[in-house]
Amino acid sequence: MAQPSVFFPRTLTRKQYLIRCLIAFVIVAAAFLFFVGAPADLVRLAGILLQIVVLLAFLYNIFGLSIPRLRNAQLTFLWIVLVFVPFGALVLFAICATAREKSESQRSNVSMHSASGEEKSLKLVEDFNSELMDALDSLGGKKVNALLDTYRFWSSKHLQRAVDGFAFLRREDGWMAQSFSSDLRLR
């Protein structure tokens, strides 16, 4: 995989994006001022320089600024199409400058787990526990003679007890105790 470079990073935060936009703007503005204020014998050269700078800024806006920023914000790259629409570049700039950062969306995913994800996965553990108890019951009348099979039976029973205790503590105490102690954690 290609290593991300300083000029073309893989992702950009809002702050990094805005700083780079400002630098690009200053460079384009400098080239423009040079063109406007250039003496007559240098106008042609300044014009070519301005065209090159604008072209490079246009390309850099796509590959060095917008794509890394959209990636960071976990937005589709289709927003890049806006640069080909009149005033679309300004809209794209507004989107990139305001879109939330990856860490924020990850944080919201974590908080999503604490509600529905926790309930869903704990219910699964409880259902596994019920199934294990039924499976153990179904072996009630059978005789397990072999040494290894006896070990496996009792180990499975041991595991079921751990799962049972876990589910009980998780359901009864876990989340209440956790919210109570959250303020006491080491900072």
The binding site for other proteins (CB under 8 A) comprises 110, 113-114, 117-118, 120-122, 124-125, 127-129, 131-132, 134-136, 138-139, 142, 144, 146-149, 151-153, 155-156, 158-160, 162-163, 165-167, 169-170, 173-175, 177-178, 181-182, 184-186
Q: Are 83 and 92 in contact (CB under 8 A)?
A: yes
Q: How far is the CB of 105 from other proteins (least distance, A)?
A: 16
Taking the complex as a whole, how short is the minimal distance between the CB of residue 73 and other proteins, in angstroms? 23
For other proteins, the closer CB: 39 or 141:
141
CA distance 22 to 15: 11
> Is 69 within 8 Å of 99 (Cβ atoms)?
yes
Alpha helices in 13-146 (DSSP H): 14-37, 43-60, 67-72, 88-98, 102-112, 118-138
> What's the burial of 12, exposed, middle or buried (CB within 10 Å: 0-12/13-18/19+)?
buried
Select 6 or 184, whichever has its Cβ closest to other proteins. Answer: 184
Residue 163 CB, shortest distance to other proteins, in Å, is: 5
Kindly tell me which of 16 and 160 has the beta carbon lying closer to other proteins: 160
Minimal distance, residue 54 CB to other proteins, in Å:
48
**Which DSSP category does 114 fall into?**
I
Nearer to other proteins, 78 or 148 (CB): 148
Q: Which is nearer to other proteins, 51 or 179 (CB)?
A: 179
In 3D space, the residue among 95, 111, 34 whose CA is nearest the CA of residue 61 turns out to be 95
Where does residue 175 rank: exposed (0-12), middle (13-18), buried (19+ CB within 10 A)? middle
Least distance between other proteins and beta carbon 133 (Å) = 10
